Amino acid sequence: MAGPNKKRFFSPAILSAELKRRGVYPVTAAYAVAAFVLLQIGEITFQPLGFPNWVMITLIVLVIIGFPVTVILTWIFDITPHGIRRTLRYSDEAAEAGDKPSIAVLPFVDMSPEQDQGFFCEGIAEEILNALSKVQQLAVAARSSSFLYSTGAADVRQIGRDLGVKTLLEGSVRKSGNQLRITAQLVKTADGYHIWSKSFDQELQDVFKIQDEIAKSIAEALLESLTPKQHSALRTKVSKDVGAYEYYLRGRQFFKRFRKTDIEYAQQMFRQAIDIDAEFAPAWAGYADCFSFLVMYADPLPGYAKQARSASKRALELDSSLAEAHASRGLAYLISNDFDAAEAEFEKALELNSRLFEAHYYFARTRFHQGRLEEAIELFKTAGEMDPTDYQSRCLRIQVLRGLGRDEEAVAESAEAIQVVENNLKWNPDDARAYHLGAGTLVVLGDTERAKRWLHRAIEIDPDDPVVLYNVACNLATLGELESAMEYLDAAVQHGTVSAAWMRNDEDLANLRSDPRYTRLLEQLESVAASLSGPNN
């Protein structure tokens, strides 16, 4: 019976990738150049020096014999900093390292004439990343980690060390009118050798086929074989219309910026995508998430919660196998305070894609709303593992640990959490959320002066944001500045959305609970929560 390795090398594409990985191509090219130079020297010098003809013939024979010997030795052995060693199969290298094959997908470079297709380039790379992350045998770096690096901006070895991956996928996109050129290459971080590379020159409407082919080729290059189920999972999200897809990508770009105006822009982009292609499930899920975020972080209008439920329901009707649609539905239930229904949707999302950060993160928040704090702690931990650069899950986990009196654990995790926050602020210096959540972690570490500076900076960035005001109130209450904390909490409630369930379980506000003003504010929020709850259709 043919084993998986035999099956692997019957594929010309895989054989070519393996030749590249083992360095056969550059070595044989160098051999050919050296042989040509040597033969030229022999032809020019042997006769004038009086050497018999058999010397030249012997040289030619040796050069011919040396070629296959060189290829075989290059295939078998590697020259490393630790000496010459036998080359391992890629899967053997993963086993030697005690880990499965791993990859980071970098944002593709915009090579378009107008340099205005950044959203499109990132979207293509992210679609490929999301498809690869569905293959359980692959360890895929989170988008927020890998997208901090630009193709060609740093040494691949350093990126590999930073992200803890053995391979990088990098590429470029040139879009001009209806013409599309995409180049992608899979690079081994240990030595920079290309494992696989290909260029695509096709029309814009073929972008979905290109994405799928790249994802499939990468998975085949890294794994011994693919099951039919894995082949199916590697399909990227598709629309019937590439114009709808472009609006969808623009919507995602705005949505990730988190601020109210950006969420409203994202909402418009997703709506445009839906108007073009009414059966585009991911666009419906994104549209629903915009309403959910507006309720959670900006403006808790009852109509928004209803819109979130309606749009997420439509996404599921169109594609019940889409994990993101279930996560979107769960979020819509969460903002409507239907926690049992939210739980069911998040569990389904994780069944479909166990690595989906949003499902872990919002499931954790659901557990917090329910007062099931031990479970919230574990889900926040898993969310952080799914995305090593996410500071929210870490800071909120520390907050819950402290609230449960598990101070030693909270302190032990705080230094790493602050490092994650600081790394985020290097790239996003105006991220008010990073400052006010990070301030709570600094309080745990006892660095109160720096915590106050961070709170002040958060207020400078977004002075009227209710989430900023709420978290400032939490930190001041923890520090014992009760009057100021009460003023900020009141301002948070008056400016917009604060969750009654979250506030009820938030131990950072424990020092305020004896204040009658706290009770009145909680009752006010309970009334808002009741207005948001309604028929879950």
Sorting pLDDT into bands at 50, 70 and 90, what band is 96?
very low
Cα separation, 475 vs 496, whole angstroms: 19
Helices 302-318 and 516-532: crossing angle in degrees, nearest 10, is 40
Give the other-Cβ count within 10 Å of 425's Cβ. Answer: 17
pTM above threshold 0.85: no
Show the tokens assigned to 489.
Answer: 């909490």
CA angle 462, 467, 470 (to 5 degrees): 110
CA distance 283 to 260: 19
Is residue 313 within 8 Å of residue 537, measured between CB atoms?
yes
What is the reported pLDDT for 142?
Answer: 81
CB 364 within 8 A of CB 393: yes
Question: If pLDDT is split at 50, 70 and 90, which confidence band does 153 have?
Answer: low
What letter represents residue 129's amino acid?
L
Q: Return the percentage of the chain with pLDDT > 90, whole number.
A: 38
| Helix, coil or strand: residue 139 | strand
Band of the pLDDT at 236, cuts 50, 70, 90? low
Residue written as token pair 């709170």: 455
| Token pair 């590439």 in the structure block, residue | 242
Amino acid identity, position 379: L
Average pLDDT over residues 498-524: 89
Surface-to-core class of residue 196, CB atoms within 10 Å of its CB (0-12 exposed, 13-18 middle, 19+ buried): buried
Instruction: Output the pLDDT for position 146.
Output: 81
**Whose structure tokens read 């209008």?**
301
Task: Note every long-range contact of 119-124, with CB atoms under 8 Å and residues 24 or more positions apart, other chains counting.
Answer: 119/249, 119/250, 119/253, 120/173, 120/175, 120/246, 120/249, 121/172, 121/173, 122/147, 122/249, 122/253, 123/245, 123/248, 123/249, 123/252, 123/253, 124/173, 124/182, 124/207, 124/210, 124/211
pLDDT of residue 143: 78
Residues 6+ apart with CB under 8 A from 245: 123, 207, 208, 238, 239, 273, 280
- pLDDT single digits (tens) 459-507: 999 888 888 999 999 999 999 999 999 999 999 888 767 788 888 888 9
Average pLDDT, the chain: 83
Q: Which of 215-224, 478-487, 521-530 has the highest mean pLDDT?
A: 478-487
- Residue with more model confidence, 308 or 122: 308
| Long-range pairs, 468-476, Cβ under 8 A, ≥24 | 468/432, 468/433, 468/436, 469/495, 470/498, 470/503, 471/436, 471/437, 471/439, 471/440, 472/436, 473/509, 473/512, 474/440, 474/506, 474/508, 474/509, 475/436, 475/439, 475/440, 475/443, 475/451, 475/508
> CA 401, CA 398: separation in Å to the nearest integer?
5
In this prediction, residue 434 carries a pLDDT of 93
| Amino acid letter for position 329 | R
Of 92-101, 438-447, 517-526, the poorest mean pLDDT is in 92-101
When pLDDT is cut at 50, 70 and 90, the band that residue 90 belongs to is very low
The pLDDT of residue 226 is 61
Q: Please name which of 105, 188, 88 lies closest in space to residue 144, comparing C-alpha atoms.
A: 105
- pLDDT of the residue at 5: 36
At residue 91 the predicted structure's pLDDT band, cuts being 50, 70 and 90, is: very low
Q: Which residue has the tokens 């022999």?
A: 42
CB of 297 within 8 A of CB of 262?
A: no
Between 380 and 526, whose confidence is greater? Answer: 380
The pLDDT score that the predictor gives to residue 80 is: 39
| Higher-scoring residue by pLDDT: 496, 373 | 373
Q: Sign of dihedral through CA atoms 148, 152, 158, 160?
A: positive
Position 7 pLDDT exceeds 60: no
In this prediction, residue 227 has a pLDDT band, given cuts at 50, 70 and 90, of low
pLDDT band at 85 (very low <50, low <70, confident <90, very high): very low
pLDDT in tens, 300-354: 777 899 999 999 999 999 999 999 999 999 999 999 889 999 999 999 999 988 8
